[in-house]
Amino acid sequence: MKSVARIVVVGSSNTDMVARTPRIPGPGETVLGGEFIMTQGGKGANQAVAAARLGAQVTLVARVGQDVFGTQAIASINTAGVDTSYIVRDDTAPSGVALIFVDDRGQNSIVVAPGANSRLSPADVDAARPAFEAASVVVLQLEIPLDTVTRAIELAKDLGKTVVLNPAPVPAQPLPMAGVDVVIPNEVEAAMLLGHSISGPYEARDAAVALVRRLGVGAAVVTVGSKGAVVATMDRVQEIPGKKVQAVDTTAAGDCFTGALATAIAEGMALGPAAHFANAAAALACTRVGAQSSMPFRNEVEAFIGRR
């Protein structure tokens, strides 16, 4: 019998404003689009909702503004089953928003105005210590200040917790990798971390190994979109084949993968099977529009895996 997954996610919460368009516009270009959707997003909130829908007990540490976007974000996250006790309402900054274009192939382009996310502080992390103490896995991304990420890693390691880092967006300054157990970049982010391009699973395999050796993390999981993922540790490399689906919107697929992987790890699953599970969850997320609204439930993922 698997153990209950208890997870803390420290990260961003945004309102996503999504416009469908035949193609992503170039510089200076106006494209007449189609459907407009406003939904809840932000990498931290997305990953928290993904984990909660997959059966984890999740607490989100975040900041939103004293505005309608913040109120709606908390209500939506709470409805998904995430503990919102440590979401701070900021008196001086608005809630974060993301402007997203999604083209006819399901590919996307995103601009984020972080708002209150940029004010999530190390003190907010310290205030959430009880949640850290109750969890087994701490999940982080980089839409919040790096000193807050660093403090979350320090607290997690002081308490003996597993740290999962999705290094997105990749910052210009060095990442706080000391204490990270699993790093989960996509192929673009891995290339940025390593300083060279990655064009497919074979190169992703080499990149995953290089990330482990260069960054000193316990494991690297490089996602390669529909082609799957590569899992590397110091002594083993595994290629996780992709799942074929008709992609509608890839906006939060990476966040779904991270939340699912963290859930599987927290349940005691080995890293290879955990990546298989996460890959299936992310594939399902691509078949639906939106960020948090696209996250699949546990029974859907298990049925999808069962269909092979």
Tokens matching residue 239? 């290629």
What is the Cα–Cα distance from 267 to 290, expressed in whole angstroms? 27
pLDDT at 202: 55
| pLDDT on residue 37 | 85
Give the model's pLDDT for residue 141: 97
Whether the full predicted model's pTM is greater than 0.75, yes or no, is yes
Distance separating alpha carbons of residues 11 and 74, to the nearest angstrom: 14
Rounded CA separation 138/295 (Å): 19
Domain ranges of the chain: 6-23+36-306
- 154 forms beta bridges with none
What are the mean pLDDT values of the chain's consecutive 10-residue runs (308 residues total)? 87 92 91 89 96 98 97 96 98 94 85 94 98 98 96 98 96 87 94 75 80 92 91 93 80 93 97 96 89 91 85
Q: Among 83, 90, 249, 255, which one carries the catalytic annotation?
A: 255
For every residue of 172-189, DSSP letters joined together read SSPP--TT-SEE--BHHH
Rg (CA), the chain: 18
Task: Give the integer Cα–Cα distance in Å for 145 and 60.
Answer: 16
Active site residue 255: yes
To the question of domain 6-23+36-306 being in CATH 3.40.1190.20, the answer is yes
The C-alpha atoms of residue 186 and residue 121 are separated, in whole angstroms, by 26
